[in-house]
Amino acid sequence: MAFRLIPKEERFYDDFEALAVEISRGARMLQAMLAPDRPIMDKAAEIKEAEHQCDFLTHELIRRLHRTFVTPLDREDIYELAKSLDDVMDMIDASASLIHMYKIQTVRASARELARVIVESSDQIVQGVKALDKRDGVAAAAVEINRLENEADRIHQEAVRTLFEDETDPIAIMKWKEILDILEEATDRCEDVANVLEGVVVKHG
């Protein structure tokens, strides 16, 4: 067994897990916000708090990265994973903020479907991050996130088509098109996390 004068700082795995859990919590709040016919606007403020918490966790993780001599993963991988995780929460927050800002009165079913996919993707992120230390189970989580992103693409395309067919108010079309785009982008950012996780496994597996 190799001896290290300076041990690796393994706490980064706990940091990633804390970020992933906060993302999953934010995703569930978004889903709850969109569950009724009329969105629960108070959830936007709760999601904003979760986004602030993710920002804090990311900032502290990067500060630790700069102070740590020996890291369990390459520094660029730690940075990219932290950034990609934070980006997911940013998109969840952006979705909730738009719904609140535009004073949406009635939730479209497609938005609920996209929120469901975001929740399922965030759960897979938690699983993938928890498996990162041992590298066992990361690939399965990444594959499922990719599948969910493809499902979100299909939901988004159908949602936009239906929006332009059914909605006659051009302002409503503009509002909902932007909301749907951001919801779908949240699943893209989940896929970014999956790609980083897979890259780490290939490099260090």
Residue-level pLDDT at 10: 64
Token duo for residue 3: 């001896």
Q: How does pLDDT run across 91-143, given as a tens digit for each residue?
A: 999 999 999 999 999 999 999 999 999 999 999 999 999 999 888 899 999 99
Q: What is the largest CA-CA distance in the chain?
A: 70
Examine residue 59 and state whether it is found in any structural domain, yes or no: yes
Total domains present in the chain: 1
Nearest to 192 by CA among 96, 118, 88: 88
CATH code, domain carrying 127: 1.20.58.220
Examine residue 3 and state whether it is found in any structural domain, yes or no: no
Examine residue 1 and state whether it is found in any structural domain, yes or no: no
Q: How does pLDDT run across 24-68, given as a tens digit for each residue?
A: 999 999 999 999 999 999 999 999 999 999 999 999 999 989 888
Using alpha carbons, list the distances in angstroms from residue 2 to 6, 41, 158. 12, 55, 55
Length of the chain: 205
Using alpha carbons, list the distances in angstroms from residue 80 to 71, 87, 124, 162. 14, 10, 18, 36
Q: What is the 3-state secondary structure (H, E, C) of 102-127?
A: CCCCCCCHHHHHHHHHHHHHHHHHHH
Domain coverage including residue 82: 11-204
Q: Rounded to an integer, what distance in angstroms lies between the CA atom of residue 187 and that of residue 204?
A: 26
pTM of the shown model = 0.93
